[in-house]
Amino acid sequence: MITQPNHVPERLALLAASAVDTFLTEELLKGEQVHGGIDLAKVVDLLPEDDARWSVEPIRTLVEDAMFEFREDRTRADAWLAPRLHATLRLTRREAADKRLWNHLALAVAPDYVAWRHLSEPTAARPERRIAAERFRGPADRQCFSRLWWAAELFRNGPDYEPVEVACGNQDLIHTVLRMELIDHRPTAQALVRLLKNGQVTTGREIFGLSVAINAAGATLIYDVLASDEPRDPARLRDWIAEAGSAPPVGRYELPKGPDEDPVPEESVAALTDYFAELFETAPVRDRRSGD
């Protein structure tokens, strides 16, 4: 397994897609050898030096702790790292939508974590171990770090990251649901988490079937009418981001606190949970047990 590059930058930067392929070598994708880091540092666009958010050290510490703590079960690292990455790397959604930031984080700062988390196990059909290139520079729902940040952003309930742990503890949920536009409706996200916690939806096929039903119903039903939500106060997010320089490191054994925003109204979560449970009863789920 590869280690971190010899040269790890002190600060995050922006790495354009046009510069990525030079460093996305076969040796790296096989988890055999990583680039040295010096040449990559020459092709990045620097971020403002007076912004404490771009410090690499807190992120490197997080990924190293994750690799040690979850060395026996790599998939469990997602639920632990997602809220802590979000609380450490305090971004606006506009900033988080810039793929160049995630390219740099994956290739320059923590390619060893990408390899540790996503190097495939050999199978009869595919005996060669390999990392999918999209884990370094892919879409938001597939790239190693952006998928975790966005999952935390979409599933947090105001400052509470506990729903993020639940969501990211189920690979099928985050793989399927992060592609749904409706997930940006906060009551929808919280209702899905509640169905998962209640054990009403568990398997990948059930989650996929329910997501199809939710999207289909959403074409004719405006969920805001059924489950209203209060608009977010952008000032609270700005304040939270401004406090990044003075915020202590996120805890390893307790969840951090997110932006001090109001949680989703309970009545809206309850209404959508009941509605989705009814949808699930008729959702097209392959191999559903008779009587379920």
Q: What is the pLDDT of residues 232-250, one digit of tens each?
A: 889 999 999 999 999 999 9
What average pLDDT does the segment 19-44 reach? 95
27-37 pLDDT tens trace = 999 999 999 99
What average pLDDT does the segment 103-121 reach? 96
Hey, what's the torsion of the CAs at 179, 84, 165, 274, to 10 degrees? -60
What average pLDDT does the segment 157-165 reach? 97
- Distance between CA 105 and CA 40 in Å, rounded? 12
Give me the pLDDT at residue 290, please. 43
Residue 172 banded pLDDT, cuts 50, 70, 90:
confident
DSSP assignment of 223-279 equals: HHHHS--PPP-HHHHHHHHHGGGTPPPPPSSS------PPPPPHHHHHHHHHHHHHH
Spatial CA neighbour of 200 closest among 173, 237, 161: 173
Comparison of pLDDT for 219 and 218, the residue scoring more: 218
User: E strands along 133-225, which residues?
Assistant: none
Give yes or no for a contact between 166 and 197, defined as CB atoms under 8 angstroms apart: yes
Give me the pLDDT at residue 218, please. 78
Rounded to two decimals, the pTM is 0.94
Residue 284 banded pLDDT, cuts 50, 70, 90:
low
> For tokens 């510069």, what's the residue?
19
- Distance between CA 109 and CA 118 in Å, rounded? 16
- Distance between CA 205 and CA 211 in Å, rounded? 10
The pLDDT of residue 288 is above 60: no
Within 10 Å of residue 56's Cβ, how many Cβ atoms? Answer: 18
- Distance between CA 256 and CA 84 in Å, rounded? 7
87-102 pLDDT tens trace = 999 999 999 999 999 9
- Distance between CA 130 and CA 119 in Å, rounded? 5
